[in-house]
């Protein structure tokens, strides 16, 4: 049953990033948009959301009815570890500006994006939505993790004080076209894709960081985008919802390496640099809540999604973000 009626004007913050570009593709190329709806995809060049004035100006200009809030500073494990202060401050400012301004401008619904790395480190598995605040996050990324948790606090307090239903989704690790492929500061999947592409081209070994034993659930950015549209139109809770493949689809980093190696038909040597830390060993999330709402949603098979992403990266090597 469709919950939102009438045309929407949807403002997507962080519209030039991995998830923003995936939503744009689903809206414009897969028929995800609806007649009469208007979509505005912002990058940091349209408005620096660290600034209250710039945030107000962009809301004034577009007068959105709905906001998908993706804008963030997000990096892989090895950068997060060194910049907890920056990740805390920048994200807290951006999130406060967007949520506060949205409420001021009468936005009906805001969907923000948390991350499974905001969950407690010492916990039982699988992790579910009720456990977000039940213990400290992993020490490697506490700045980013606490900034993400505060979005949930902000949403709850907005509902309590003003009755607005702003919510958040919680995705796992992601990958897809238009990701940040910069080897030094990327997440694991874009990092592996770039490194494997170069190792094959240069006839060198592929260097994987850590032992390869850490476990992760990966979601294809296009699947996440399709689910985002469902959340926008039909999900009516303030409580966040985990958007993830099932627990049974959790992989080791070594499994992820094998998928990328297969996609590129890389035949060279693979070296694991075990002097580098593995980060959080696992953060296995339950998608039971999602499955209750969307029992039939079909995730793109992992190997197919990896192949599509590797093909995209090879075809767009010159212009890809790296």
Q: Binding residues for ligand GDP, per CB under 6 A? A: 76-78, 117, 173, 186-188, 191-192, 195, 208-210, 214, 216, 253, 276, 278-280
Q: Which does 20 bind (CB under 5 to 8 A by kind): ligand GDP, ligand NAP, none?
A: ligand NAP
> Residue 275 CB: number of other CB atoms within 10 A?
7
d(CA 209, CA 223): 27
Q: Let me know if 166 is a catalytic residue.
A: no
CA geometry: angle 203, 208, 214, nearest 5 deg: 155
* Distance from C-alpha of 260 to C-alpha of 159, rounded to nearest angstrom: 43
Judged by beta carbon distances under 5 to 8 A according to partner kind, the member of ligand NAP, ligand GDP, none in contact with residue 58 is none
- Scanning residues 76 to 105, which ones bind ligand NAP (CB under 6 A)? 94
One-character DSSP codes across 141-152 = GHHHHHHHHHHH
Residue 135, sorted as left (phi over 0), alpha (psi -120 to 50) or beta, turns out to be left
Q: Minimum Å distance from CB 261 to ligand NAP?
A: 20
Identity of the residue, 114 or 261, whose beta carbon is nearer to ligand NAP in the bound complex: 114
Shortest reach from residue 81's CB to ligand GDP, in Å: 9
* Active-site residue, from 144, 181, 197, 235: 144
93 binds, among ligand NAP, ligand GDP, none (CB under 5 to 8 A by kind): none
Q: Choose among 163, 174, 131: nearest CA to 18.
A: 174
What are 120's strand-pairing partners? 137
Q: Which positions lie near ligand NAP, rule CB under 6 A? A: 14-20, 43-45, 47-50, 70-74, 94, 113, 115, 171, 173-174, 180, 187
Active site residues: 144
């Amino acid at each position: 049953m469709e919950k939102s009626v009438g045309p929407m004007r949807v403002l997507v913050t962080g519209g030039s990033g991995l998830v923003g570009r995936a939503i744009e593709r689903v809206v414009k190329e897969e028929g995800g948009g609806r007649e009469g709806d208007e979509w505005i995809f912002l990058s940091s060049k349209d408005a620096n959301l660290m600034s209250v004035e710039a945030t107000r100006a962009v809301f004034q200009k577009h007068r959105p009815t709905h906001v998908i809030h993706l804008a963030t500073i997000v990096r892989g494990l090895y950068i997060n570890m060194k910049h907890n202060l920056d990740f805390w401050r920048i994200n807290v400012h951006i999130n406060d500006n967007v949520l506060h301004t949205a409420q001021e401008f009468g936005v009906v619904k805001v969907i923000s994006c948390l991350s499974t790395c905001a969950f407690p480190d010492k916990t039982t598995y699988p992790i579910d939505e009720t456990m977000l605040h039940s213990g400290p996050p992993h020490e490697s990324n506490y700045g980013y993790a606490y900034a993400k948790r505060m979005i949930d606090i902000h949403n709850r307090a907005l509902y309590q004080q003003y009755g607005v239903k702003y919510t958040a989704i919680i995705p796992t690790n992601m990958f897809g076209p238009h990701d940040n492929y910069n080897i030094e500061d990327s997440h694991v999947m874009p990092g592996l894709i770039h490194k494997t592409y170069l190792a094959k081209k240069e006839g060198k070994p592929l260097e994987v960081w850590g032992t390869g034993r850490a476990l992760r659930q990966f979601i294809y950015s296009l699947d996440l985008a399709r689910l985002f549209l469902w959340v926008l139109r039909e999900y009516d809770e303030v409580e966040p919802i985990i958007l993830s493949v099932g627990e049974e689809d959790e992989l080791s980093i070594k499994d992820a390496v094998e998928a990328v190696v297969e996609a590129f038909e890389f035949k060279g040597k693979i070296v694991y640099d075990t002097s580098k830390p593995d980060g959080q060993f696992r953060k296995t999330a339950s998608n039971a809540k999602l499955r209750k709402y969307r029992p039939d949603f079909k995730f793109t098979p992992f190997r197919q999604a990896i192949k599509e992403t590797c093909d995209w990266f090879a075809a767009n090597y010159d212009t890809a973000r790296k």
